[in-house]
Structure 1
Amino acid sequence: MTVNRSLTTAAVALVCAITVLGAPGTAFADPAARPTPTPKSTKTLEEVRKELERLYHDASVATDQYNAAEELADEQSKRIVELAQDIVKGQKKLDDLKDRVGAAARDQYRTGGLPTEAQLMLSGDPKGFLDGAGRVRQGQQATKGLLTDMARTQEDLELYAKDASAGWKKLESNRKAKASAKKKIKQRIADAEKLESQLQKEERERLLKLEQAAEFKAQSAWLDSGILDEISSKASAQGKKAVAYATKQIGKPYQWGAEGPKTFDCSGLTSQAWAAAGRPIPRTSQEQWRQLPSVAIEDMRPGDLIIYHDDASHVGMYIGDGAIIHSPRPGRTVTIAGAGSMKILAVVRPDK
């Protein structure tokens, strides 16, 4: 598929998204406005919604911790391999230097260890001897250089070994961090699934409407602030590519720790979208927030990343007209949502 076709596909999808966001009675219409029964358990169901939100939020935080530990572990593994290669090269160099120093020592031994004056007196060819003596002095200086180089190489080897040992300790620490985060993720998701499984079909439907109503309320308040009137920036060339990639992933399931191509977590989607656009960015939402340049909300443009919640535990990609594409949580798929449907912490720009 050509780049132009990809961009056209993204543009069509974006138009559809804008239509959905703007049309009455669609996914962003107020679910609370539809006639639904209001049984006595509504308050309890709202408590269930909040509890699910908390559990999935905790799972999201742990997912970020898992992803960060995995990224560090990969970096440390590569570094340990590089150190091992340096150690092998250094050992070969040290062996070669030892051979050369040994050869120089044997040459000096063959002179019998006599003082230079005595060797001159016993020589039948004083001129030849003096020329040879000059070469001997050069050889002695070269030997000193070899010894210095050998000592430096030995120090390098010791440093490589020390760094490798420290690297192994860090690697083990990050493996434990990954295991701990993985355990927490699975536990929180299991708790959430158990809680949802206890609901009747009608209650699950009403729960979904409550979730939609909460998102709609937050999005409406955000739009009512007039912020959309101030946002008019157009996407960069790379931003268009990132949006096109993200748009193609709509409908694919959320999976923690996943970076595609079949499943994604929130930062897996955004990092892969920008990698596809030719701009590698940090893997986790927290590092995307920390490392990428911030921009004001009113200055954001399609392709920018919106970081959510006080702990930067979620991220979505702005696609324009007050909407984002994101991978929400376990049990959901990559979808379009209101940019203001969650608490915005910051907006960052990968290609600033």
Structure 2
Amino acid sequence: MGTGKRVLLTAAVTVVCAVTLLAAPGTAFANSARAATPTPSSSPSATPAPTEDLEKVREKLDRLYHDAAVATDAYDAAEEQTRKQSAEIVELAKKIVAGRQKLDRLKDQAGAAARAQYRDGGLPPAAQFMLSDDPAQFLDGAGRLLEGQRATRNLITEMTRTQQDLQQYADDASTQWQKLDANRKAKAAAKKKITQQIAAAEKLQSQLQKKEQERLAALEQQAAYQAQTAWLDTGILKEINGKASEQGKKAVEFATKQLGKPYVWGAEGPESYDCSGLTSQAWASAGHPIPRTSQEQWKQLKHVDVKDMRPGDLIIYFDDASHVAMYIGDGAIIQAPRPGRTVTIAGAGEMPILGVVRPDA
């Protein structure tokens, strides 16, 4: 790839390109991504600790934040299930109330039928015929009596069915309460792990001197640069020519407007996001809701080859599908990376790619 094309794009130009060049992705961002991440300085004055030690710190931080991301996905999944189960319990409660009201009405009707039968004296039909002054009227009344008996039997059947329905609703509600309680516990456990992992990462970083922190940041940039360069050197961009769908354009436009907003685990906007909170809200804004978590997005959405991806598609990262970003063309993604960072544009190959999914397949 020629060095003359390796021009560092400003953030503003990158954002504009991300939105306006969706229909014809080229190599502008890919080239700039190679140049945008400088290699760290090797000045002796900036080396208060051996590089290999800082590299170990970088790897440990990556593990801590990765584990936090896994726990965040578990938290998000439990949160989503909690919302669904709460809604189901509300609907079951409405059915129970309606069922009880229906049962009360049926009981009133049954009582009225019993009172009517009592008023007739409970005489057998033959005795009523003998005592009747008008046999024709009696026969007409007997017909109505048979109809009344059938109606009573139907009434009893309906009451029995309603009582069975009420019992089923109650059993279902009990089951949902148990699931709700289990998911609340899962949320609490995930939250605890998230806070522990983030606290450990922050403590590790706080122990570094300022120059060490600067060198650590340079090492992180260098690792991302090397991974993106290796990905681009495969020639993959020559094969990626897909054009964004109309919904894909809307999703990318939404994600682009979130640039600079902070990463907050469990957040779905509008002021902050986690990785799957950003992608799920972007596609919801495009009129196509998708699963909330990166793992469910990987499980439920259509898989496409990397060479076939187009702007708006989601790239799933790591073997456990613990991170997700949105492809925007030219070898770039928009992502909410991790705690302490903001929604940003990065190279699509900076992390290990598990695969690509298409929400609007």
Q: 1:329 aligns with which of 331, 338, 343?
A: 338
1:101 and 2:110 aligned: yes
Q: Distance in 2 between matches of 1:217 and 1:11?
A: 26
Q: 1:239 aligns with which of 212, 237, 248?
A: 248
CA shift for structure 1 position 112: 1.6
Q: 2:211 aligns with which of 180, 191, 202?
A: 202
Give the corresponding residue for 1:56. 65
CA shift for structure 1 position 152: 0.2
Is 1:20–1:27's contact at 8 Å kept on the other side of the alignment?
no
CA shift for structure 1 position 94: 0.2
Taking a change above 3 Å as real, the CA distance of residues 115 and 105 of structure 1, as seen in their structure-2 partners, is same
CA shift for structure 1 position 49: 0.3
**RMSD over equivalenced CA pairs, Å:** 1.9
Q: Distance in 2 between matches of 1:135 and 1:36?
A: 106
CA shift for structure 1 position 36: 4.0
Q: Distance in 1 between matches of 2:64 and 2:318?
A: 14
Taking a change above 3 Å as real, the CA distance of residues 250 and 64 of structure 1, as seen in their structure-2 partners, is same
The letter for the 1-side match of 2:349 is G
Moved more, 237-246 or 19-28: 19-28
Give the corresponding residue for 2:128. 119
CA shift for structure 1 position 325: 0.4
Taking a change above 3 Å as real, the CA distance of residues 325 and 9 of structure 1, as seen in their structure-2 partners, is closer
Q: Distance in 2 between matches of 1:97 and 1:249?
A: 57
Deviating 4+ runs (over 6 angstroms): 15-18
Moved more, 106-115 or 129-138: 106-115
1:161 and 2:170 aligned: yes
Percent identical pairs in the alignment equals: 65
Q: 1:269 aligns with which of 278, 292, 298?
A: 278
Q: Deviations over 1:42-71 (max 9, x none)?
A: 111000000000000000000000000000
Q: Distance in 1 between matches of 2:305 and 2:17?
A: 27
1:131 and 2:140 aligned: yes
Is 2:64–2:201's contact at 8 Å kept on the other side of the alignment?
yes
Q: Distance in 1 between matches of 2:252 and 2:29?
A: 17
* TM-score, length-scaled by structure 1: 0.93
1:149 and 2:158 aligned: yes
Q: 2:39 aligns with which of 27, 31, 37?
A: 31
CA shift for structure 1 position 171: 0.6
Is 2:33–2:346's contact at 8 Å kept on the other side of the alignment?
no
Moved more, 244-253 or 86-95: 244-253
The letter for the 1-side match of 2:213 is R
Is 1:254–1:329's contact at 8 Å kept on the other side of the alignment?
yes
CA shift for structure 1 position 98: 0.5
* TM-score, length-scaled by structure 2: 0.91
Q: Distance in 2 between matches of 1:136 and 1:210?
A: 93
Is 2:280–2:292's contact at 8 Å kept on the other side of the alignment?
yes
SS at match of 2:36: coil
CA shift for structure 1 position 23: 3.4
Q: Which has the higher contact order (CA 8 A, sep 6+)?
A: 2
Is 1:253–1:332's contact at 8 Å kept on the other side of the alignment?
yes
Give the corresponding residue for 1:183. 192
Q: Distance in 2 between matches of 1:24 and 1:35?
A: 22
1:309 and 2:318 aligned: yes
1:89 and 2:116 aligned: no
The letter for the 2-side match of 1:31 is T
Taking a change above 3 Å as real, the CA distance of residues 212 and 118 of structure 1, as seen in their structure-2 partners, is same
Taking a change above 3 Å as real, the CA distance of residues 240 and 185 of structure 1, as seen in their structure-2 partners, is same
Moved more, 232-241 or 35-44: 35-44
Q: 1:286 aligns with which of 281, 295, 303?
A: 295
Q: 1:214 aligns with which of 219, 223, 234?
A: 223
The letter for the 2-side match of 1:350 is P
Give the corresponding residue for 2:5. none
Taking a change above 3 Å as real, the CA distance of residues 36 and 142 of structure 1, as seen in their structure-2 partners, is farther
SS at match of 1:23: helix
Q: Distance in 2 between matches of 1:230 and 1:36?
A: 40
Is 2:259–2:343's contact at 8 Å kept on the other side of the alignment?
yes
Q: Deviations over 1:176-223 (max 9, x none)?
A: 100110011001000000000000111111111111111111111111
Q: Deviations over 1:57-103 (max 9, x none)?
A: 00000000000000000000000000000000000000000010111
CA shift for structure 1 position 24: 8.0
Q: 1:342 aligns with which of 329, 351, 356?
A: 351
SS at match of 1:252: coil
